[in-house]
């Protein structure tokens, strides 16, 4: 037997918060249709009205006809469709929940990493107060090192001795093959 509903299980307020402004009229139309359906369902009784078989036995002249109808009516069972989709939906929700939890964990790890970077940046000496030695200590990969790695002005990679253009080298390598 189907379960009798007494009210809508949809949280319309929470749903309305997530709907974009341009879709609000469509949500209102959908809610009106849903409420109308719920009103029509609730207007009908939960159980079918009982048949007064004794009254029909008095009116119908054919003997045994009402008894036969009563027996057939009481033997009639209309099957309610089995709910086969809820377990599938719950399995999908479990998978989605796992991916949400993984995303949240990954996001929290990223947040923690970025918080550390922010703390390191805030702890650093401001650039306008740094000397060249302070900059070299803070960023050894960016600082000029005239003793261990001398360069020529303007200190770009293309201006240094022994520089080869990687595009030209790749074209030569491709032509050689």
pLDDT of 44-87, one tens digit each? 888 888 889 999 889 988 888 999 999 999 898 888 888 889 99
**Mean pLDDT of all residues in 30-51:** 88
**pTM of the predicted model, to two decimals?**
0.43
Mean pLDDT over each residue of the chain, to the nearest integer: 88
Residue with tokens 């974009």: 20
**Mean pLDDT of all residues in 140-161:** 82
Query: Do residues 85 and 94 touch, judged by C-beta distance below 8 A?
Result: no
Confidence (pLDDT) at 3: 65
Q: Which of residues 36 and 145 earns the better pLDDT score?
A: 36
Residue with tokens 């989709």: 85
Confidence (pLDDT) at 1: 46
Confidence (pLDDT) at 6: 67
Confidence (pLDDT) at 143: 83
The model's confidence at residue 142, banded by pLDDT at 50, 70 and 90, is: confident
Residue with tokens 């949240």: 104
pLDDT(89) > 80: yes
């Amino acid at each position: 037997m189907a379960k009798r509903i007494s009210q809508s299980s949809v949280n319309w307020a929470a749903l309305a918060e997530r709907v974009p402004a341009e879709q609000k009229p469509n949500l209102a139309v959908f809610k009106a249709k849903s409420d109308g359906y719920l009103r029509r369902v609730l207007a009908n009784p939960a159980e079918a009205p009982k048949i007064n078989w004794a009254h029909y036995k008095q009116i119908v002249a054919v003997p045994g006809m009402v008894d036969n109808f009563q027996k057939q009516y009481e033997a009639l069972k209309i099957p309610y469709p089995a709910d086969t989709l809820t377990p599938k939906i719950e399995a999908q929700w479990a998978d989605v929940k796992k991916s949400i939890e993984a995303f949240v964990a990954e996001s929290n790890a990223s947040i923690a990493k970025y918080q550390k970077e922010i703390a390191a940046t805030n702890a650093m000496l401001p650039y306008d107060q740094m000397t060249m030695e302070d900059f070299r200590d803070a960023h050894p990969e960016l600082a000029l090192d005239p003793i261990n790695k001398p360069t020529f002005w303007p200190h770009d990679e293309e201006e240094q001795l022994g520089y080869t253009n990687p595009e030209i080298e790749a074209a030569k390598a491709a032509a050689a093959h």
